[in-house]
Structure 1
Amino acid sequence: MARPLSSDDLPSSAPPELAYWQRRLTELADRHRVPGAVLGIARGAHSAVAAYGVLNKATGVTTTRDSLFQIGSITKVWTATLAMQLVDERALDLDAPVADVLPELCLADPRVARQVTMRHLLTHTSGIDGDVFTDTGRGDDCLERFVGQLDEVAQNHPPGETFSYCNSGFVLAGRVIEKLTGTSWDRALHERLCAPLGLEHTVTLPEEALRFRTAMGHDAEGDGPPRPVRTWGLPRSQGPAGLITATAGDVLAFARLHLAGGIAPDGTRLLSERAAQAMAERQVELPDALSLGDSWGLGWIRFGWDGHRLIGHDGATLGQAAFLRVLPEQDLAVTLLANGGAAKDLYRELFGELFAELAGVAVPEPAQPPAEPVPVDARRHLGRYERAGTRIDVLKGPDGLRLRHTTTGPLAHLVPEPVLETTLVPVSDSQFLVRYADSSSWIPVTFYSLPTGESYVHHGMRATPKVS
């Protein structure tokens, strides 16, 4: 077992500890059938990156420390940072209706169009159906066109009433940024964050990614081996929600901006200390505190680990996964980027070891079924729950309730198995656990109602309303 590292232990000269984490990354990634991965560790001004495997099993290109991976929804923290820069400049009010900036905004519920704020968007509480992946083309007007179609997207809950992970809301936030900066979200990201931070390996478009050593996502059917996905990336319209592709080093440099209170390495202030602090503060509690974090900030997920407060985010795209955890009290940031396999299981095992040894912090154990069966009367949960991209059926099986999860819409043909069915294991009358065939991890399923009486199931960080 490696000794705990101090802030002087991570120079780029590859100390013994880097060799240790390289070995652990290799052993665990191989165990979890991850084709390729990079692990980045930063403490203070020092950082180290380990690389494993291949970027594409079809070509055999080796993963290196400067390889690019899709970071998925970690992008949302970058978009939130752009928004907070505009708050600093007094060009944007978090609690004013975004219609003040976008008077043309039309939503399914005209009242919501007049009410929804940037704070709603950055905290996933707008109620706009979140998993809409309409392809509105490759032009710089793709966000404008996407937002122009939001009147066709359902309103799943009233603004501010509950939390439901919302990609659509971040696209809308990106469009607000475009309107206020007078340029595309991609260019605003480059000019206001990437260039000042010296991030030369952070891109948003596939033709930019082709300039570098870039990962291909992988998926698998059943117990089959990981194979390259058929589609490399999501439509450009999803940019502000999840289209950044970057190296582990650049992700760590972005985290350093927040650890430094908004100051770039050259001393330039890119974000006020007040704004950086506000992003990490609790904004909303989650209906389910077992899936990921216990609360949400402005863009950041908040984690309570072993009495310590962390911030971070995860990302999942087509066959790729990304993880970022930041422990401000120890000036520590860790990221893992992977291109398939059981990446989440790799993250849990590797980060569990890493945070225990580097920071003395125990990562919470994942949810597990109770030792003894819990008798519940869960008949009221039977029925269909539906939102854009997902249909959830809660069925009565011979040994209790079952959950059938169906991916619908544009993503259905991009996932290896659009229909998954498994047993609901009760923890209480309202809390259950499920485990899908492609992972050893248990995932919470929470049933609850709004104060106004509407029934929801919270699964995968989304609130899905009961429709029948």
Structure 2
Amino acid sequence: MTETTELSDRWTARLTELAARHRVPGAGLAVLHRGEIVAETAVGLANTEAGIGASTDTLFQIGSISKVWTATVAMALVDEGVLGLDTPVVSVLPELCLANDELAKGLTLRHLLTHTSGIDGDLFTDTGRGDDCLEKYVALLGGTAPNHPLGATMSYCNAGFTLLGRVLEVVTGVQWDELMRERLYRPLGLTHTATLPEEVLRFRAAIGHLGSPPAQTPMWGLMRSAGPAGLICSTPREVLEFARLHLAEGVTADGTRILSEGSVAAMQTPQVELPDPYVLGNAWGLGWFLDTWDGQRVYGHDGGTIGQNAYLRVLPGSDLAICLLTNGGDTSALYRDVFGEIVRELAGVTMRAGIEPAAGPVAVDPAGHVGVYQRLSSRVEIVERDGGLVMLDRITGPLAALAPETESEYELHPVEPGVFVVRRPGFDRWVPVVFYTLDDGTPYLHHGGRATPKVG
């Protein structure tokens, strides 16, 4: 652990205060600025029932930030000519069976990296603990209906990254967990980053908490097949070593090149605009989501597992990267408070404001939105009630077994025509619900990063 700096001391006190305010049991924070870790701290409890404190070397689940690590290895293989961004995946996996021929024959790495494949992303099926778990998972995708045509829109897709992980296994002959060690952990000098529980338990490890007040989750992590999409565990400092690789245009601290400058730039170049530009960013690159804060370019990724949430943002114009890892409570409010203060202090940047209900009346045609919107893991019914709209949200399919509550009801508050917000009980943040149509006129709802078609 590095020598404590004045900024670390200040942020230990401030993070303690903010974590208590937002009911976050434990949190770790690190800040990389101009090539140096200028702040590193951890507060609270990694495990409330056992009374284990969070420390700077505690491993948290970084969740879907793992996707950018998987994407980085994929782009390294593109650099080597082993893979092509626009070559059909079926050329690597000739046995690949998907819902229809158009998807099976046309799917490319670019579709997977930009969440535009149309594969329903929330197939959380446990295919065992064996090294063949990704192969077994991919074999199940043929029985899953797509939630939009290939390339027609963006819909966040965990399944697509498990499929990408399998592609990497086939072209390298190395199982995904070992491939991450070989291609990233060891070259980056990471000693506290791992995926498998038996590796993580060599260290102090955080467990998730759900609800308000937060209570410890009954299970620690997701099934192994979710690895390429979200099973890496790490510390804030080591996540920032990964971010440093991208700030340094693909070169590690010891001068080893992992990615070409061109691939680093391509990952940060907009590939698709988001139907919902209000939460993560306004566009997606190759792995990263992209945004602009106060005129300055930002890229990053979030992660969410069972009661753990992770946040990574990089401001290349200020040579600044921030990582916050948490294990329960109103983590999105904590993220906004912490990152907002740091970027203002170190970059002179004001973080983009969150979306809120309109201050005045908005012309809304309820009949245009009322109906049922459905995909594998979600059934959303929009109903008219007392002159307004209400969203009845039900989690379905395999994902329902992982959720503490499967049914919720929210009042839709208008922002502008076609855009509404909801707020979950006990949380400060407003979350958008966007109604839109594809080019072929099919009506869709975009919520939680997912595109859901209207079915009735």
TM-score normalised to structure 1 length: 0.96
Q: Does 1:402 align with 2:390?
A: yes
Match of residue 95, structure 2, among 90, 101, 104: 104
SS of residue paired to 1:207 = helix
Once residues 194 and 332 of structure 2 are traced to their aligned partners in structure 1, the CA distance between those partners, rounded to angstroms, is 24
Cα displacement string for residues 357-389 of structure 1 (whole angstroms, at most 9, x for unaligned residues): 111010011111111121311212111111121
Once residues 216 and 191 of structure 2 are traced to their aligned partners in structure 1, the CA distance between those partners, rounded to angstroms, is 26
Deviation larger for 30-39 or 422-431: 422-431
Task: Report if the CA contact (8 A) 1:226-1:341 is conserved.
Answer: yes
Match of residue 464, structure 1, among 435, 452, 456: 452
Q: Does 1:31 align with 2:18?
A: no
Q: Read off the aligned partner of 1:320 and give its amino acid letter.
A: Q
Q: Does 1:337 align with 2:328?
A: no
SS of residue paired to 1:202 = coil
Match of residue 61, structure 1, among 52, 64, 73: 52
Matches within 5 A, 1:327-366: 327-366=315-354
Q: What is residue 7 of structure 1 aligned with on the other side?
A: none
Once residues 377 and 260 of structure 1 are traced to their aligned partners in structure 2, the CA distance between those partners, rounded to angstroms, is 50
Matches within 5 A, 1:392-431: 392-431=380-419
Q: Read off the aligned partner of 2:44 and give its amino acid letter.
A: G
Indicate the percent of aligned positions where both proteins have the same amino acid. 55
Once residues 290 and 251 of structure 1 are traced to their aligned partners in structure 2, the CA distance between those partners, rounded to angstroms, is 25
Q: What is residue 42 of structure 1 aligned with on the other side?
A: 32
Offset of residue 407 of structure 1: 1.2
Q: What is residue 189 of structure 2 aligned with on the other side?
A: 198
Q: Does 1:70 align with 2:61?
A: yes
Q: What is residue 146 of structure 1 aligned with on the other side?
A: 137
Once residues 328 and 286 of structure 2 are traced to their aligned partners in structure 1, the CA distance between those partners, rounded to angstroms, is 29
Large movers: runs of 4+ above 6 Å: none
SS of residue paired to 2:29 = strand
Task: Report if the CA contact (8 A) 2:49-2:216 is conserved.
Answer: yes
SS of residue paired to 1:252 = helix
Q: Which runs of 5+ in 2 are unaligned?
A: none
Q: What is residue 243 of structure 2 aligned with on the other side?
A: 255
Q: What is residue 149 of structure 2 aligned with on the other side?
A: 158
Match of residue 188, structure 1, among 179, 183, 204: 179
Once residues 13 and 378 of structure 2 are traced to their aligned partners in structure 1, the CA distance between those partners, rounded to angstroms, is 39
Matches within 5 A, 1:306-317: 306-317=294-305
Task: Report if the CA contact (8 A) 2:434-2:445 is conserved.
Answer: yes
Match of residue 167, structure 1, among 151, 158, 161: 158
Q: How many residues align?
A: 455
Q: What is residue 3 of structure 2 aligned with on the other side?
A: 13
Q: Read off the aligned partner of 1:380 and give its amino acid letter.
A: G
Offset of residue 315 of structure 1: 0.2
Once residues 35 and 162 of structure 2 are traced to their aligned partners in structure 1, the CA distance between those partners, rounded to angstroms, is 33
Once residues 196 and 17 of structure 1 are traced to their aligned partners in structure 2, the CA distance between those partners, rounded to angstroms, is 29
Task: Report if the CA contact (8 A) 2:122-2:399 is conserved.
Answer: no
SS of residue paired to 1:424 = strand
Once residues 131 and 3 of structure 2 are traced to their aligned partners in structure 1, the CA distance between those partners, rounded to angstroms, is 42
Q: Does 1:377 align with 2:368?
A: no
SS of residue paired to 1:196 = coil
Cα displacement string for residues 253-307 of structure 1 (whole angstroms, at most 9, x for unaligned residues): 0000101111111111111111111111111100111121010100001011000
Offset of residue 27 of structure 1: 0.4
Q: What is residue 262 of structure 2 aligned with on the other side?
A: 274
Q: What is residue 241 of structure 1 aligned with on the other side?
A: 229
Task: Report if the CA contact (8 A) 1:378-1:429 is conserved.
Answer: no
SS of residue paired to 2:218 = coil
Task: Report if the CA contact (8 A) 2:358-2:416 is conserved.
Answer: no
Offset of residue 231 of structure 1: 1.1
Offset of residue 426 of structure 1: 1.4
Once residues 324 and 5 of structure 2 are traced to their aligned partners in structure 1, the CA distance between those partners, rounded to angstroms, is 20
Cα displacement string for residues 406-465 of structure 1 (whole angstroms, at most 9, x for unaligned residues): 111233233222111111111223111111113111111111111111110000110001
Once residues 268 and 102 of structure 2 are traced to their aligned partners in structure 1, the CA distance between those partners, rounded to angstroms, is 30
SS of residue paired to 1:376 = coil
Q: What is residue 318 of structure 1 aligned with on the other side?
A: 306
Once residues 27 and 5 of structure 2 are traced to their aligned partners in structure 1, the CA distance between those partners, rounded to angstroms, is 20
Task: Report if the CA contact (8 A) 1:324-1:334 is conserved.
Answer: yes
Offset of residue 12 of structure 1: 3.6
Q: Which runs of 5+ in 1 are unaligned?
A: 1-10
Q: Read off the aligned partner of 2:295 and give its amino acid letter.
A: G
Aligned CA-pair RMSD: 1.1
Offset of residue 184 of structure 1: 0.7
